[in-house]
């Protein structure tokens, strides 16, 4: 079985594939190091002895070595980390390819496993990102901006009279108290902003463009952004799977 791991700044997620099917998923807060105990907490015991390959995207470099050591001890195999040098068939037509995050590479490879380009990939998590692939299989750029929870945190930290609140989808665009006004302002401005950006990207990409949304916070927008064609919360795992399988075929 293939174990795919996504190490993010806030959480670390894992999905186990039995051929093309995800048979198990879990997510925990990203620790200071990836220990054997952490991996045991992340991976159900019933699957541990069946894992023979590991594909990883990480944006937290200081935990990578500990993951390598712990994975070798627990599973008897070393994880394969993806980065901007990993062969994917997509050319990075950006100023500094080395700045390209492994998670974003996995996202667009997951999208390419579903539909052909041109593609717009929207990932809503701690940060909200756009990644754009044109018809020539070229990555031509995107965008990064704070996610919903970061936006709320910023308001609380930088505004004297606004406290930290828990986000919930507002019932109305008209906030009638401070809490609902924050929720309304952030939520509906995101919906409007995301729709605007998607349409601007479509102007550049031309006809036949598909829009795929993923990320833990995409659930808040599901059915609200008419431009989105596909919602796939496990996109990054399918991307890690595709990259790993492509590398095996090349060998």
**Residues with catalytic function:** 103
SS3 labels along 143-177? EEEECHHHHHHHHHHHCCCCCCCCCCCCCCCCCCC
Q: How far is CA 123 from CA 68, 74, 98, 120, 146, in A?
A: 27, 31, 20, 10, 11
Q: What share of the chain is helix, strand, coil (3-state, %, to 5)?
A: 40, 25, 35
Please list the residues that pair with 58 across neighbouring strands. 7
CA gap 57, 236 in Å, rounded:
9
- What are the two backbone dihedrals, phi and then psi, of residue 16, each rounded to the nearest 5 degrees? -110, 130
115-119 own/partner pairs: CB under 8 Å, 24+ apart: 115/210, 115/212, 115/229, 115/230, 118/205, 118/206, 118/208, 118/209, 118/210, 119/209, 119/210, 119/211, 119/212
């Amino acid at each position: 079985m293939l174990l795919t791991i996504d190490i993010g700044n806030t959480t670390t997620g894992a999905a186990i594939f039995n051929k093309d099917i995800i048979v198990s998923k879990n997510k925990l807060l990203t620790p200071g190091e990836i220990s054997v105990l952490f991996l045991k907490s992340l991976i159900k015991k019933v699957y541990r002895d069946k894992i023979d390959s590991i594909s990883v995207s990480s944006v937290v470099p200081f935990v990578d070595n500990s993951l390598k050591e712990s994975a070798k001890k627990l599973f008897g195999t070393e994880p394969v980390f993806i980065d901007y040098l990993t062969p994917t068939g997509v050319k990075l037509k950006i100023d500094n390819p080395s700045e390209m995050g492994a998670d974003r590479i996995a996202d667009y490879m997951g999208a390419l496993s579903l539909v052909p380009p041109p593609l717009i990939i929207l990932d809503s998590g701690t940060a909200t990102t756009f990644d754009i692939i044109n018809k020539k299989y070229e990555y031509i750029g995107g965008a990064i901006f704070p996610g919903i929870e970061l936006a709320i945190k910023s308001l609380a930290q930088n505004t004297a009279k606004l406290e930290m609140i828990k986000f919930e989808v507002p019932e109305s665009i008209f906030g009638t108290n401070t809490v609902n006004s924050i929720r309304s302002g952030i939520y509906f401005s995101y919906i409007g902003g995301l729709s605007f950006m998607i349409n601007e990207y479509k102007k550049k990409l031309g006809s036949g463009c598909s829009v795929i949304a993923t990320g833990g916070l995409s659930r808040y927008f599901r059915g609200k952004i008419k431009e989105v064609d596909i919602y796939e919360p496990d996109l990054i795992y399918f991307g890690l799977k595709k990259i790993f399988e492509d590398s095996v075929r090349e060998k």
